[in-house]
Amino acid sequence: MSVDMNSQGSDSNEEDYDPNCEEEEEEDEDPGDIEDYYVGVAFGGADAFDPEEYQFTCLTYKESEGALNEHMTSLASVLKVDHEVERLRPSWSTW
């Protein structure tokens, strides 16, 4: 039994496609608040406010070690980690 596939209906919409058509689809772009991001920012001045700038102070090694240990201890208590498992956390002397 032979079936001529050319005579069968096609699921594709090839007949709807026109390669010469220059019609562009309209895109509804919502820029949100991006356009207003730099409104009021003075450009070029040394004291100009920059919304992407963040002032910070670097921690020393000892300060960062203490902060990390404090957070790990706090997290272990919230998660109710057993004392035996908590002892397995890395020792700072080996890092």
CA 12 to the chain's CA centroid: 37
Decide if 89 contacts 72 (C-beta within 8 A). yes
Q: How many domains does the chain have?
A: 1
Residue 79 lies inside a defined structural domain of this protein? yes
- What residue type is 81 in one-letter code? V
Residue 54 lies inside a defined structural domain of this protein? yes
Q: What SS3 state is found at 48?
A: coil
Residue 73 lies inside a defined structural domain of this protein? yes
Work out the mean pLDDT of the chain and round it to a whole number.
70
Note the pTM of the prediction, 2 decimals: 0.36
Domain of 56 in residue numbering reads as 50-83
Residue 20 lies inside a defined structural domain of this protein? no
Alpha-carbon distances of 9 from 12, 13, 61, rounded to whole Å: 9, 11, 73
Query: Model confidence over 32-68: pLDDT tens digits?
Result: 667 776 666 656 555 667 777 888 899 999 999 899 8
Question: What is d(CA 88, CA 20) in angstroms, rounded to the nearest whole number?
Answer: 68
Residue 75 lies inside a defined structural domain of this protein? yes
Residue 26 lies inside a defined structural domain of this protein? no
